[in-house]
Amino acid sequence: MHDLHSERMSGSETRAAGGLALVFAFRMLGMFMILPVMATYGMDLAGATPALIGLAIGAYGLTQALLQIPFGVLSDRIGRRPVIYVGLLIFAAGAVLAANADSIWGVIAGRVLQGAGAISAAVMALLSDLTREQHRTKAMAMIGMSIGLSFAVAMVAGPLLTRAFGLSGLFWTTAGMALLGLLIVAGFVPRAAGHLQHRESGVAKQALLPTLRHPDLLRLNLGIFVLHAILMASFIALPLALVGQAGLPKEEHWWVYLTALLVGFFGMVPFIIYAEKRRQMKRVLLGAVAVLLGCELFFWQFGSSLQTLLLGTVVFFTAFNLLEASLPSLISKVAPAGGKGTAMGVYSTSQFLGAALGGILGGWLFQHYGLSGVFLGCAALALLWLAFAVTMREPPYVTSLRLPLSAAALADAGLAERLQAVPGVADAMVVADEAVIYIKVDTQQLDRTSLERLIEPAPATC
C-alpha cells in the first residue's frame, strides 16, 4: 500500500490548486467587499431604507443557497468548465447590473443575480478531477486559505475602493475580477482527463437524507447558519456605530477592520492548535460562541466610543475567525465515511441561508429598534447556538482515507465490517461504482499493519 504523503504535488496539480484558489478568492472578494460599506454608502441610493440595505447585503445568499447543490449536480452531467464559465458570467452580469443601478432595488437585483453564479461545488469537483488522492486535502486547504484571505482583503479593500470610486466603482471591480477568474480557468488551469466520481468532494444523492438526519451535523449546520447571520447583521450595525457613536468618517473605517482582522487572525491560532493537539474541539467551540455572545452584549452596552468599538471588533473577529476555521474541520470529522462531500454541500447551503437571513433581519431590526435592536438580536442568535452546541458530543479525531480496491476485494462482502474491527478504524464504506473504500481512521490508534493486510489486494495506484 502506498504512502499517502510520499511525493510532492506535480506542476499541473499546483497550477490547478493555485488557479482555482484564485478563482474562489476573486469571487469571494466580490461578495465580501460590499459588507463594510453598504450600510454607510448605500443610504445615498434612491429608495434606500435600513431594511432594504440589509436585503442588499444578504440577497446573494438566497440564490447561492438555492443553486449551490443543483449547479454541482449539473457539473457532473455537462462538465465542470461549462458550469464554471456560465456561473462566473452570471456573477459578472450581476455586478454590472448593480454598478449601473441608481436605486437600492437595482443593487438588490444585482446581488440576487451575483448569488446565482453558484460555482463552489463545481470548482471543488474540478479540483478533485485534477489532483491525486494524497494531495487533495492540501489542495482543498489552499482554497480554504484563499477564502479566509479574500475576506480579510475585502474588509480593507472595500472601504478604500468605495472611497476612491464610489459604490458603482466597487461593483465594476467585482465584475472585472469575475472575468479575470474566467480567464484563469480557461488559460491557466490544466484540462482534466475525465470526471472523477468522488463522494468526498461532491454531493451524493444517497447520502443526502442521512446527512439531514445526523444530529451532530445538524448542530454544525445550525452553527454556520448563525455565524453568518451574526456576521451580516453586525455589518449593518458596526459601520453605522463607527460613524454615529464614535464619530469616525466612513472613509476611515478600513483601518479598524485591518487592525481587527490582523489581531483576530493571530489571536485564533493558539486556540486552533490547542483544540487539535489536545483534542478539545468542543470546549474551544463553546468558548468561541460564548465570546461571540459576549461581544454583541458588549457592543450593546458599551459601544459608544471608538476605543470600545475597536476592542469589541478585535475580539469579535478573533472568535469569528476561530469558528470559521473550526466548523469545516468538525464537519470532516463528524461526517460518515464517504459522506463528507454531501455534508459540506448542506453546510455551504446553510452558510448562505444564514447570510441571507442575517442581512434581512439586521436591516429590519435596525429600522425598527436601532443599533441596540441589532446587537441584542445577534446576542439572541448566539445564545440559541450555544444552547444547541452544549449538547453535541466530542467529535471523533479522525482522518478520511479513500483507497482503491481490486476486483477480488470488491467481491468481498464482509470487507467493511472486518475493517471496522481494526483498532483505530472508526468507519468504513465500500463504493463499488468507484472501486474504492472510504475509511475514517484515528491515526494515533490505527493498527496500520492489520489495515494493510486486509486491503493488500488493492493495486497501489492513486
| Spatial CA neighbour of 378 closest among 287, 304, 291 | 291
Count of C-beta atoms within a 10 Å radius of residue 279: 14
Higher pLDDT, 133 or 285: 285
pLDDT digits (tens, 9 = 90+) for 205-261: 777 788 888 899 999 999 999 999 999 999 999 999 999 999 999 999 999 999 998
In three-state secondary structure terms, 199 is coil
Give the C-alpha distances (Å, rounded to integers) separating 178 from 25, 66, 87, 120, 130: 10, 20, 9, 13, 22
Higher pLDDT, 116 or 449: 116
Q: For residues 54 and 356, is the Cβ–Cβ distance under 8 A?
A: no
DSSP H or E stretch at residue 400? strand 399-404
Residues 175, 276 within the same domain:
no
Does the pLDDT value for residue 162 go beyond 90? yes
Check residue 121 and give its pLDDT.
Answer: 85
Residues 379, 280 within the same domain:
yes
pLDDT digits (tens, 9 = 90+) for 287-320: 999 999 999 999 999 999 999 999 999 999 999 9
- In terms of Cβ atoms closer than 10 Å to its own Cβ (0-12, 13-18, 19+), residue 78 is exposed
> Alpha carbon 89 to chain centroid distance?
21
Q: How many domains does the chain have?
A: 3
Residues 137, 263 within the same domain:
no
Count of C-beta atoms within a 10 Å radius of residue 314: 18
pLDDT digits (tens, 9 = 90+) for 7-34: 788 888 899 999 999 999 999 998 899 9
Check residue 308 and give its pLDDT.
Answer: 96
CATH number of the structural domain spanning residue 323: 1.20.1250.20
| Spatial CA neighbour of 71 closest among 290, 287, 348 | 348
Q: How far apart are CA 82 and CA 74, in angstroms?
A: 10
Q: pTM (2 decimals)?
A: 0.90
Check residue 461 and give its pLDDT.
Answer: 42
Residues 138, 264 within the same domain:
no
CATH number of the structural domain spanning residue 417: 3.30.70.100
Residue 5 lies in a domain: no
Residues 71, 163 within the same domain:
yes
